[in-house]
Amino acid sequence: MAKYAILSDIHANADALVVVLNKCRQLGIDHYVSLGDIVGYNAQPRECLNMVRDLQWVAMVRGNHDEYTANGNTEISGFNPNAKFAVNWTREQLAPSERSWLVHMPYRTTIPGCNATIVHATLDTPENWGYIFDAHHAADNFSYQFTQLCFCGHSHVPVAFCKKPITSGSERNIEELQDWVYNSIEEEANVDFTLADELSVEIKAGHKYLFNIGSIGQPRNRDPRASFAVLDTDSHSVIRYRIPYDIASAQNKIIDAGLPERLALRLAVGS
């Protein structure tokens, strides 16, 4: 039995990563799992790379920003101008050996000793960098999911789905898990994001689960806190933690580095 920290979309945000790793130490994490995109968007790719390399990893996959930073392609089709600028800037900050390390991971893999698969984007064509936003996309992913659990990132928007056993008279066996995203406090008009929070999902026998854990370094669900998850094989649960960090510090580093201002502004609103 063990606790696995599932980290995704750090995106060179060292301020956010530090508080997440501090929380992991408090939780007594045994192993670490990376869903990719260690770099991109923010201003501290090397610092994040060094912190990540020192962890006890049991499974890692590459993200699209990791790949584009390493492959030397300056065109980067499909990226908006700010994202493209950040990738090209990041490439200049890293040594060839560091860029090579970013893409030594596979597109998808399993977590040793766990009935779980990890991928940055989608299981069907992970190298195409598709997104999972709704039950329709989740159904496609479940068709390629041969483990009970799957963890993904990429969209920076936390969402989760459960595929129930098919039973007689069942109308719909794929259900979105609202408890993964909301709680009673957040349903009110005024949301206080100053406190750390956690949301837990019980893993039931016979069910399959797909979790997008959100982003540590650039959340896009209107919650600016760093988001990560813990798989606890003892309690048979997956818990998503949301941790506040020094956003102003990360913003200042982005501006000082000459990166687009939009990349700094969006951190405060989680968009």
Summarised one tens digit per residue, pLDDT across range 86-135 is 999 999 999 999 999 999 999 999 999 999 999 999 999 999 999 999 99
Average pLDDT rounded to a whole number, residues 19-41: 97
Q: What is the pLDDT of residue 211?
A: 98
Inform me whether the pLDDT recorded for 150 exceeds 50: yes
For domain 3-269, say whether CATH 3.60.21.10 is its number: yes
Give the span between the Cα atoms of 258 and 260, in whole angstroms: 7
Inform me whether the pLDDT recorded for 161 exceeds 80: yes
Q: What is the pLDDT of residue 168?
A: 47
pLDDT band with cut points at 50, 70 and 90 for residue 179: confident
Q: What is the pLDDT of residue 196?
A: 76
Summarised one tens digit per residue, pLDDT across range 207-235 is 999 999 999 999 999 999 999 999 999 99
* Coil vs helix vs strand at 71: helix
CA 154, 27, 17 angle in degrees (round to 5)?
A: 40
Q: What is the pLDDT of residue 183?
A: 65
More confident residue, 183 or 24: 24
pTM of the model: 0.94
Average pLDDT rounded to a whole number, residues 175-197: 69
Q: Percentage of residues in the chain with pLDDT exceeding 70?
A: 93
Q: Sort strands 237-243 and 208-212 into parallel, antiparallel or unpaired.
A: unpaired
Inform me whether the pLDDT recorded for 186 exceeds 70: no
DSSP of 89-112: HHHHHS-HHHHHHHTSS-SEEE-T
pLDDT band with cut points at 50, 70 and 90 for residue 191: low
Q: What is the pLDDT of residue 75?
A: 72
* Coil vs helix vs strand at 117: strand
CA 122, 123, 126 angle in degrees (round to 5)?
A: 60
Inform me whether the pLDDT recorded for 39 exceeds 90: yes
DSSP of 3-70: EEEEE---TT-HHHHHHHHHHHHHHT--EEEE-S--SSSSS-HHHHHHHHHTS-EEEE---HHHHHHH
Inform me whether the pLDDT recorded for 236 exceeds 70: yes
